[in-house]
Structure 1
Amino acid sequence: MKEKINRGDIRQCLDQRAYNRGKDYFERHRVLRVSIEQEDDISVELSGEVKGGGARVYQQEIFISRADDTVNIRGYCSCPVSFQCKHVAAICLHYATYLQKGKGANTQPQDSCLSWLDSLHETQAGSISQAPPAAGSQLLVYQLSSTRAAGKMAVSFYATRVLKKGGLGKGRTISLHNFGSAYHSPTYAQPVDLEISNILSAAHRSSWDASLILDGELGFLALTKMIQTGRCVWQDYRNNP
């Protein structure tokens, strides 16, 4: 679209409750993906995904058009509300914000992601010692590593055990399939691990791979949550204190 939309346009097209709750979702980074499907001078078609309650992820299809000074938004969602809901508002706010910054709706600051990783490595922010579990207990560890692709990193998953003498035992490599099911979740998987699994599953076709590339908005969101667990480490989880 030639002319940008703003928050006022979105507020006028949606009811106040949907707008306010969508704004909250947007600010809490619950928007997982925004894609421009079609665009011309006066309209744009968006598709997106927003994290709902629990581990649910909802899909949106949104049509935005402008005629003179009037903006029209029609947003459909897979949530129970189905039309002009808070998830639609969150997608529209994401789109409008990135337009106003001169960025496309599919962009996410890769440099910020990599800088954050550098900070993680230097300060040991992802060290498991931040929240020491009991000796003998099992836990899931996210191990980050570099890749040959510029600006991208990979994550591997390990199920390991805390040793009585300290540190971690030799764990076993696992995949999303091993810990990502809410119906057959292992004891070492916490609710946040299911959220991370859902995000990564939305970005990758296979849940059987032991290592996945972190890329784009979904990768950035997954990395955020991994770091917040206190179980995300760089290169070798057994050498982390």
Structure 2
Amino acid sequence: MSNIQITISNIQENFDQQTITRGLTYYTDKKVLEVTIYNRAANTLFASEIIIFSRVRGSTIYEQKIVLPNGDGSEIEGECSCPVGYNCKHVAAVLFKVMKEQQSTPNVAREQKMLNREAQTWLNKFIETTKEANIHLKEEPQDEFLLYRLFEYRNYDNSDLEFYRAKRLKRGGISKGTLVSRENLFIDYEWRSYINDIDKKLLPSLLSLLNSRHRYSKSIVFAGEYGAMVLRRLLKTNRCYFQSNMEPLKYTPTPKVLTFSWQEGEEKSQLVSNLSDDEYLISATIPPLCIDTTKNLLYEVETPYAPETLELLSNAPELPNTSLPSVIQKVIQELPEVEFPLPSTFEIERVEATPKPHLHLYGRREENRTIHLMKLSFLYDSHRVAADTKGSVATTVEKEKTIQIIRDLAKEQEYQAVIEQAGFTFASQPDILAYWSLANPSMQAAIERWREFMEQQIPQLKAAGWQIEIADNFNYSFEYIETVMVESSKSEEINPWFELSFSVDIGGRTLSLLPIVSSLLQEFDSVEQLPEKLNLEFEEGKFLHIDSKDIAPILRTIFELFDKKEGDNLIINSFDAHLLEFDESSDIV
């Protein structure tokens, strides 16, 4: 890489502070993917000009062309393919990388190809850990140094961490220190005299914890697993303090089990933890951490709650005792699997039993049609749990009594499999939440699925102990016929034609078959596409069940000549009469 003299002052003179901060974040997050430097010294017209070509990952990968007309950082002309286009955060990130690499060029080539992945991973970790430990061992006392103070919340942006420039006092101890701007420190910390090697390794980690809550300030928030890790690393500096305390924090590996209980008064009650007033909870990290502010100790907290839940529990308001039962019931009902503390006066009944399946078939009216549905639930003793209920524990309130039902999920899934293997699909729409029969691959298949379930499976399920309830508005029923009648007449006019009508006899009623089978034309293009069993609707919810083969000749004629129908009859020209090839041995007469 060419020797380029770029300083932090050069960057500050060519970019605004917000761009510098964002550029530094991109650099420390290793988003600069590629840098190529081209020195045009060979060209006499551009004797000192240097061009940098680079690629930086943002929302996509952007390309940069950075021109240094004077061969240094005094003048920077950076073009980028991002929407900003000129001297943007991507350009700044590249310059930080160039500046950093000019400071330390490796002297020894590493033959990493000789190591396998496992060996290389171990070696890298060993070198990194040993270097960090040696830095702490070799740390020499400085007249001035950086202090880290936690949770002062002195500014409007509520940063978890503030920096101070402090010095050692002649009489012993350290000074209170002078507050250091976070924004400025992150930009030029590598060039400040009171920043040592330990700080230089820590500050990029802190940079990743910046939370842009305000336009002109960047607050640091310790959150998640990464926040907990960085916080523990801060303590290793022996220069990390809680607020204004003068003794640095120490880490102890002994965790504390965090519990909550109700502090019950005569009129009001409040949820409180087992932490003392001297213990400061850091709820946003994973795991949560706690500071003993008198002993200046940091330790982990064991709790089943997520950070957001823990924060709410720790700041629960006082509640009137009159409303406490309804609050507890609501929490238990909505969050049955959460370990929520109960007041001493609150009773709860636990039910553990073998579930029995209950099936409710019903119709739901929508516009001009009825949708047929099936709701599955499970009976635990006398308590019903819907199949779509989430969690391993179901909670219900009956007559102001809270009941927790311990579910047998494996058994419930066996019952659900019976319905699903029959071809029914669960409709997860909020206003339905029941099983229905989809028109897959056709509406005929959906209707046949219902017929087989009602006539074949329901009797078997009842015999197996299922409770089956069929509502009055579930109006599916199926009729069976043995005879299809065909009547025809021939025209005596000059242009001869046949007039045919098809009808069936159901319970003494004669029904025209033509308008019934006409619905098949909406789904199928030929007789060959029809399923073996047909269910033809002659009234809403009432179907004529028949084998396709029994009326195949009629259906073939209808498919080919349907556009010639008149009312309930077909008008057939004499030259089309050969299409009427009926089998005299069949049930069609």
TM-score calculated relative to the size of structure 2: 0.18
TM-score (structure 1 length as normaliser): 0.41
Pick the structure with more strand per residue.
Answer: 2
Rg bigger for which structure? 2
More helix by share: 1
More contact order relative to length (CA 8 Å, sep ≥ 6): 1
